[in-house]
């Protein structure tokens, strides 16, 4: 099988100053893409800013013979998102690929969550994904080709204690991505989503070090590179990735039952078993249960 190459493609990777974003940027560049390394350089809760993180990854790419440009803009304001895209156009003349990876955490139980913790996480993850994609969209449309890879999580897909804000944002990204996939189809734009399990600033406080060492970010990026390539024909899909494990994730619906015009609460109760019968489908109760499937192979 021939190597998958991204020569002559221009990519933006947000949140690329470390962790997953850095791994994505380095791999895309090694496969020939010119990469805009975007990172605000803030802390995991979104506070602060620095140019160091993005500059360091640009230097790594250039030292390996690749081409890259740094962007220090945030993703959660329209003007800043437009500036990220402008960096790609000014540096490399076009834009083909967007990898929306930037995110923050402000974990707290729902009872104790204030409006600021909700708004900030929704704004960076969900609104940020929308704004960068929207700024990029005309360029991808005009190309007649484009790839967008967005980032959800097991917490978004299955829920997780203390992450109501993060879970809501991450599941919102799935809905956004599926709609963009439909709207982009006629322009040759494919939009997919990854749900990564990987060592990062966001996971290092909740998983033990021995586990973290089995789920390196570099084990996620090959899926991203494939989704960014000509070889990929899929769109509107979600893929769980981590520790060498890759699986398509789908929202499933049971065969159900037709209760007709005579629907009553009692008939619902009588049919509850059939309503809930998912057959061979496997639902997860929470994010950690879902993550265990990814971790099982890595830890065996």
Query: Catalytic residue numbers?
Result: 166
The Cα–Cα gap between 291 and 113 comes to 25
For the chain, the helix, strand and coil percentages under 3-state DSSP, each to the nearest 5:
45, 15, 40
Question: Beta-carbon neighbour count of residue 83 at 10 Å?
Answer: 17
Contact between 48 and 42 (Cβ < 8 Å): yes
Contact between 140 and 187 (Cβ < 8 Å): yes
Specify the 3-state DSSP secondary structure of 19.
Answer: helix
Question: Beta-carbon neighbour count of residue 193 at 10 Å?
Answer: 28
CA neighbours within 13 Å on the CB side: how many for 113? 19
Tokens 């990469």 correspond to what residue? 35
Contact between 278 and 224 (Cβ < 8 Å): no
Judge residue 259's burial from the number of C-beta atoms within 10 Å of its C-beta, 0-12 exposed, 13-18 middle, 19 or more buried: middle
Beta bridge partners of 68: 35
Long-range contacts of 87-91 (CB under 8 A, 24+ apart): 87/12, 87/36, 87/38, 88/10, 88/12, 88/36, 89/139, 91/34, 91/36
Beta bridge partners of 146: 189
Q: Which of 4, 50, 49 is nearest to 28 (CA)?
A: 4
């Amino acid at each position: 099988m021939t190597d998958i190459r991204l020569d002559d493609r221009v990519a933006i990777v947000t949140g690329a100053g470390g962790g997953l974003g850095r791994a994505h940027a380095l791999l895309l560049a090694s496969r020939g893409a010119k990469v805009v390394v975007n990172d605000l350089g803030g802390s995991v809760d979104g506070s602060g800013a620095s140019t160091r993180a993005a500059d360091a990854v640009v230097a790594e790419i250039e030292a390996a013979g690749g081409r890259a440009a740094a962007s220090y803009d945030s993703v959660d304001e329209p003007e800043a998102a437009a500036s990220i895209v402008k960096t790609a156009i000014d540096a490399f003349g076009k834009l083909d690929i967007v990898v929306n990876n930037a995110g923050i955490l402000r974990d707290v139980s729902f009872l104790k969550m204030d409006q600021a913790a909700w708004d900030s996480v929704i704004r960076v993850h969900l609104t940020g994904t929308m704004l960068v994609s929207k700024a990029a969209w005309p360029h991808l449309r005009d190309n007649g080709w484009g790839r967008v890879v967005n980032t959800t999580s097991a917490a978004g897909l299955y829920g997780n204690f203390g992450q109501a804000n993060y879970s809501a944002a991450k599941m919102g990204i799935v809905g956004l991505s599926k709609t963009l996939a439909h709207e982009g189809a006629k322009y040759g734009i494919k939009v997919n989503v990854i749900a990564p399990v990987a060592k990062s600033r966001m996971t290092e406080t909740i998983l033990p070090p021995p586990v973290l060492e089995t789920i390196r970010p570099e084990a996620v990026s090959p899926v991203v590179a494939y989704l960014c390539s000509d070889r990929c024909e899929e769109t509107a899909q979600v893929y769980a990735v981590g520790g060498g494990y890759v699986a398509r994730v789908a929202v499933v619906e049971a065969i159900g039952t037709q209760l007709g015009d005579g629907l009553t609460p009692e008939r619902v109760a009588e049919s509850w078993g059939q309503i809930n019968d998912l057959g061979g489908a496997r639902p997860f109760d929470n994010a950690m249960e879902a993550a265990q499937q990814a971790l099982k192979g890595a830890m065996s």
